[in-house]
């Protein structure tokens, strides 16, 4: 059933309005923080990781918090390198 979540066809989406095609992954999936849903994943975290890391990351409180921190660090580093 997990694969159908990731590769939803148009006919599946019509039958299941809540099903959505695969979207862009969260940018922190490749280098997750220790608080991320995809870090040290367990069976209880799989649904959260699929939902938030697999396309709905803008709704994720972890993403929102870390994204603000990362952007502040990037701006600081850019100013220091000028």
Asked if residue 38 belongs to a domain, the reply is yes
What confidence score (pLDDT) does residue 4 get?
38
Asked if residue 51 belongs to a domain, the reply is yes
Domain span including residue 51: 24-80
Query: In this model, does residue 21 exceed pLDDT 80?
Result: no
Taking only the tens place, the pLDDT of each residue in 24-77 is 899 999 999 999 999 999 999 999 999 999 989 999 999 999 888 777 666 767
Banded pLDDT at 5 (limits 50, 70, 90): very low
Asked if residue 50 belongs to a domain, the reply is yes
∠ Cα 66 6 52 (to 5°): 20
Query: In this model, does residue 9 exceed pLDDT 90?
Result: no
Compute CA distances 80 → 72, 73, 75, 77, whole Å.
12, 11, 9, 5
Asked if residue 57 belongs to a domain, the reply is yes
Distance of CA 13 to the CA centre of its chain: 21
Please report where in the chains the tokens 């148009």 appear, as a residue. 10
Using CA of residue 19, residue 24, residue 30, residue 36, what is the dihedral sign?
A: negative
Asked if residue 30 belongs to a domain, the reply is yes
Banded pLDDT at 12 (limits 50, 70, 90): very low
* Residue 62: Cβ-neighbour burial (10 angstroms; 0-12, 13-18, 19+): buried
Asked if residue 3 belongs to a domain, the reply is no
- The count of structural domains within the chain is 1
């Amino acid at each position: 059933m997990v694969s159908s979540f990731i590769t939803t066809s148009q006919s599946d989406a019509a039958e299941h309005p809540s099903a959505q095609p695969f979207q862009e992954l969260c940018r922190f999936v490749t280098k997750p923080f220790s608080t991320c849903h995809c870090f040290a994943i367990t069976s209880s975290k799989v649904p959260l990781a699929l939902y938030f890391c697999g396309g709905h990351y803008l709704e994720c409180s972890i993403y929102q918090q870390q994204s603000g921190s990362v952007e502040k660090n990037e701006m600081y580093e850019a100013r220091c390198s000028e």
